[in-house]
Each structure stands twice: as C-alpha cells, then as structure tokens.
Structure 1
Amino acid sequence: MEDEEYEELTSSLTPHESAGGVTTYRNTVAIACPACGEPFDDLVICEDEYNSLELSMLLDLCVTTHEDEVLLFTHKH
C-alpha cells in the first residue's frame, strides 16, 4: 500500500484502540476494502514484528502491508 493511500485510509477511519503493538480503527463510513472491494468493519494494524490477536468472533480477513506493518481488514459474518 502506498503512503498516500495509507494516510487517506487511516485519516478517514475512527480510531478505536491502541495497545501492545496493535492499533485498531472502526470503519464508520463504509470505506471499501482495498483487497476485496467490499466495505470492511475494522482495520487492525500490527506494528511489531510479532503480534498475537485473540479473536472473539468468526471473521473473514483481507490482508496487505505498509512498510513494516501488517494491515488486516475484518469482515464480520
């Protein structure tokens, strides 16, 4: 993902939580997922080399990268 696209995306989303090398944003404006084109629910940015995510629900995930970060786009069932 290019820097300009990343900045536009993160500035359009609602910050939700940041802890332990993971930052989450809520997609309150129905932006389309860059991977599948469907609106996504949350953007999870994994900033550290290793991250552990505990999922409390079944989700479809789309994935991309920006620099050294992994970006996960969640789609709830």
Structure 2
Amino acid sequence: MDIDTEELLTSLTKREDNAAIKSYQNTVAVACPACEKPFDDLVVCKQNPTSLDLSKQLDLCVGVDDGQAYIFTHS
C-alpha cells in the first residue's frame, strides 16, 4: 500500500503525540488507503515494538511507510 502521509495527515485532527505513538481522528471521512472506506482513527507507531491498549473491538487496516506502521481503525 502506498500512503501519501503528508496529504493524509493534513486532513486529520491530531489527538495524541507521545514517545510511542501519534494518533489522529478522521473528522472529514477520508478514505482508508487499504480498504477505501472512511476510517475512524489513525495510529502511527513511532517505536518498534509498540503496544496498544484497545478499549473496544475494532477492525484494523495496516500499512507501513518509511519504517513506521500506520494503523487505520474502523468501528
């Protein structure tokens, strides 16, 4: 999957930025690059490995760009 990260991130609302991850909310219904359906949130993993605690069951699409994992959540 090719991800145009610059264009994608400018369309999203930043929610969290810490040492392990950055998270963004999709408030404008941007299409997921993997499944082409709008996604809810994007999590960018900054560390390898990274652990995520999910509070609810989600469908996930995953891509990698420049060595970072991009996780697109769908509820």
TM-score category of the 2 structures, normalised to the smaller one: over 0.9
> Runs of 5+ in structure 1 lacking a partner?
none
User: Which AA in structure 2 matches 1:40?
Assistant: F
C-alpha separation between the residues in 2 aligned to 1:48 and 1:61?
A: 19
Give structure 2 stretches of 5+ with no counterpart. Answer: none
- The structure carrying a bigger helix percent of its residues is 1
Which stretches of structure 1, 4 residues or longer, exceed 4 Å deviation after superposition? none
Paired amino acid for 2:7: E
Query: RMSD of the TM alignment (CA)?
Result: 0.9
Q: TM-score, normalised to structure 1's length?
A: 0.91
- In structure 2, what is the equivalent of residue 29 of structure 1? 28
Residue in structure 2 matched with residue 60 of structure 1 by the alignment: 59
Counterpart AA for 2:31: A
The residue identity in structure 2 corresponding to 1:34 is P
Aligned residues: 74
